[in-house]
Amino acid sequence: MLACSINDGANLETNQLEVADFNRLGEVHNLFLTNVKENFSVIESITDEQERIESIYRFNKDFVSSLDISSTEKSIMIDNLEKTKSFVKEDVLLSQSFGDTTYRETGKNKKSDENLFEIIDNLKISGIINENSHQILNSLTNDLKDNYEGFLTDEQLKTNVQSYINDFNEIGYTKNSEGEMVGAVLAISISSIEWWEENPDALGNLLTKNKAPSNALVAPWIATDLVGAALGAASSTAIQYGVTGEVNGEIVAWSAVATGVAASTGAIGKIAQWFTS
């Protein structure tokens, strides 16, 4: 399925993938989180919502040049940061990820964009991913929805993600397979969870809101970070396959990173508060 592999760390004898082969994606994702936390300054004089979105996009775009990745990877990152810049707004991201996508009265009887559950289901129906991949991605998405809504703690989410990683490693995915997409999502997910564990102060006073259950590690906003990566990878896979009948693993992987960055930026407390001020 995948026309190009982004991973050189797989076992050369078995050609078998493990989630650890995609750790670089998680590391780059976390660099963006740290940069936003430490260096982004909210400009209160900017009151227009779209201008705020653009300023955050430019900040993340500028950071791409500092990364130790290829020019092709940088280009993919910038392109997808631009496409998903509105995901910095929590309601936009959640609508795209979990929202209702049934037929509406649009004047053209046109169906709205698919949500993440539907994209994953359609990847399975189209034969792009198998049952194992569908199970992992669908279970992860359900966990993220439950985590966001306060029904699943961050601690349990981390346990579940680690379980999906173990499942992935035992399945025997090979390079240039759908495992490139699933592995990228899981690597970014566990890296993100670990970053939020180490940086709960990045939420600011959002941690004190009623929305955060008392038994969470940080708060349900972690779900908006992880769901961005899953949405980026699944959407990129579906779009590429629909256009060309092939899927480039490099594009999928860095689309996942970029969309995760766009979503996670909005979870940083000072930015989330900026959009509600």
Confidence at residue 68, expressed as pLDDT on a 0 to 100 scale = 94
Is residue 107 a part of any domain in this protein?
no
How many C-alpha atoms does 73 have within 13 Å on its Cβ side? 21
CA–CA separation, 130 and 189 (whole Å): 21
- The percentage of the chain sitting over the pLDDT mark of 90, rounded to a whole number, equals 66
Confidence at residue 46, expressed as pLDDT on a 0 to 100 scale = 93
How many C-alpha atoms does 16 have within 13 Å on its Cβ side? 8
Is residue 248 a part of any domain in this protein?
yes
Q: What domain range includes position 95?
A: 2-39+47-64+71-99+112-274
Q: Which of 155-164, 210-219, 231-240 has the lowest mean pLDDT?
A: 210-219
pLDDT in tens, 177-199: 999 999 999 999 999 999 999 99
The residue ranges of DSSP E strands in the chain, in sequence order, are: 2-4, 247-248
* Whole-number CA gyration radius for the chain: 18
- For tokens 């996942």, what's the residue? 256
Both tokens of residue 139? 């279970």
Confidence at residue 237, expressed as pLDDT on a 0 to 100 scale = 95
Is residue 181 a part of any domain in this protein?
yes
Number of domains in the chain: 1
Residue 64 has pLDDT above 50, yes or no: yes
Q: 166 by DSSP, 3-state: which?
A: helix
Both tokens of residue 191? 């890296």
Is residue 190 a part of any domain in this protein?
yes
Maximum Cα interatomic distance, the chain, rounded to a whole number of Å: 58
Length of the chain in terms of residues written = 277
Both tokens of residue 170? 């035992």
Question: Letter for the amino acid at 245?
Answer: G
Is residue 157 a part of any domain in this protein?
yes
Residue 267 has pLDDT above 80, yes or no: yes
Find the DSSP H helices in 127-221.
131-148, 154-171, 179-198
Residue 215 has pLDDT above 50, yes or no: no
Considering only residues 152 and 164, tell me which one the structure prediction assigns the higher pLDDT.
164
Is residue 18 a part of any domain in this protein?
yes
Among candidate residues 107, 66, 40, the one with its CA nearest the CA of residue 269: 40
Is residue 249 a part of any domain in this protein?
yes
Confidence at residue 41, expressed as pLDDT on a 0 to 100 scale = 94
CA–CA separation, 269 and 247 (whole Å): 36
pLDDT in tens, 73-111: 999 999 999 999 999 998 899 889 998 644 333 444 344
Torsion of the alpha carbons at 146, 22, 233 and 128, rounded to the nearest 10? -100
- For tokens 């740290």, what's the residue? 34
Residue 220 has pLDDT above 60, yes or no: no
- For tokens 């092939």, what's the residue? 246
Residue 206 has pLDDT above 50, yes or no: yes
Is residue 104 a part of any domain in this protein?
no
pTM attached to this predicted model: 0.88
